[in-house]
């Protein structure tokens, strides 16, 4: 698409955007605020998908979703979910906010409207345990270890380093128990899948215990 085709006539300022936004989102009873850096609209979680459609189909000009993320709010037992929209036609931005309570952290996925939200929502699920209903592939993205899910919540502490060799001594791969040997191995033993705590080699092959001495 050549740059000449870009419509530059309609470049609304922030006040204009606030006005149009009130009309566009009227049926969702949002709380709209003009912040220093962006226009902010707080919505109910159930309205997110319809509001997304209304914004996309409007003349507001927000054609780019930059990110979706969560912000933990333990004082209110809820997680704020943020959607930050930008435009390639004007310099204003729109931050959509909603919040979901810990006991039922569900919000409709906006992937039908903004396909780019796909991985952002999966990451928010990993980090904040927010569930996005209707997501096309709601599988873990960055954290597939069960005890790490919800890592960015404030109740999840920053812990002492974990010896990952012990953690990965056994993994389930496709329902099969696969022992992984994550220790230095003698070249002739490399690739052999055996009991990771098997007997040490008679000739004194390498092992972390041996190497540390």
Residues that bind other proteins (CB under 8 A): 1-3, 6, 37-38, 63-67, 69, 71-72, 82, 84, 88, 91, 93, 95, 114-120, 123, 140-144, 151-152, 158
Rounded least distance, CB 210 to other proteins, Å: 27
Closest approach of other proteins to the CB of residue 203, in Å: 29
Backbone angles phi, psi at 15, to 5 degrees: -65, -40
Count Cβ neighbours within 10 Å for each residue of 93-110 and write b for 16 or more, e otherwise: bbbbbbbbebeebebbbb
Nearer to other proteins, 25 or 65 (CB): 65
CB of 12 closer than 8 Å to CB of 89: no
Least distance between other proteins and beta carbon 119 (Å): 4
Of residues 26 and 137, the one with the C-beta less far from other proteins: 137
**In the complex, minimum distance from the CB of residue 50 to other proteins, in angstroms, rounded to a whole number:** 19
Identify any residues that bridge with 201 across adjacent strands, giving them in sequence order.
none
172 vs 202, beta carbon nearer other proteins: 172
Closest separation in Å from C-beta 88 to other proteins: 5
CB-nearer residue toward other proteins: 46 or 56: 56
Burial category of 162 from C-beta neighbours within 10 Å (exposed 0-12, middle 13-18, buried 19 and up):
exposed
Compute CA distances 60 → 7, 19, 39, 205, whole Å.
13, 10, 12, 68
**Smallest separation, CB 113 to other proteins (Å):** 9
Residues 6+ apart with CB under 8 A from 76: 99
Q: What distance in Å separates the CA atoms of residue 40 and residue 95, rounded to the nearest whole number? A: 5
Between 23 and 61, CB nearer to other proteins: 61
The pair of structure tokens assigned to 207 is: 């092992």
For residues 27-58, b (16+ Cβ closer than 10 Å) or e, as one string? eeebebeeeeebbbbebebebbbebbebbbee
| Closer Cβ to other proteins, 28 or 119, answer by number | 119
């Amino acid at each position: 698409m050549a740059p000449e085709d870009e419509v530059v006539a309609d470049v609304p300022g922030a006040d204009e955007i606030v006005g149009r936004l009130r009309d566009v989102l009227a049926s969702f009873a949002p709380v709209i605020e003009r912040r220093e850096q962006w226009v902010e609209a707080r919505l109910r979680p159930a309205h997110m998908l319809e509001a997304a459609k209304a914004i996309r189909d409007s003349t507001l000009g927000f054609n780019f979703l930059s990110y979706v993320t969560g912000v933990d709010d333990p004082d209110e037992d809820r997680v704020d979910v943020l959607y930050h929209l930008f435009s390639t036609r004007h310099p204003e931005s729109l931050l959509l906010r909603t919040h979901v309570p810990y006991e039922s952290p569900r919000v409709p996925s906006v992937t039908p409207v903004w396909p780019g939200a796909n991985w952002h929502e999966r990451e928010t699920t990993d980090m904040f345990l927010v569930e996005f209903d209707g997501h096309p592939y709601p599988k873990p993205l960055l954290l597939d270890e069960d005890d790490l899910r919800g890592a960015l919540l404030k109740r999840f502490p920053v812990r002492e380093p974990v010896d990952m060799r012990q953690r990965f001594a056994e993994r389930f791969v496709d329902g099969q128990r696969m022992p992984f040997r994550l220790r230095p191995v003698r070249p002739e033993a490399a690739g052999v899948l055996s009991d990771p705590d098997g007997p040490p080699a008679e000739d004194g092959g390498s092992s972390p215990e041996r190497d540390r001495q």
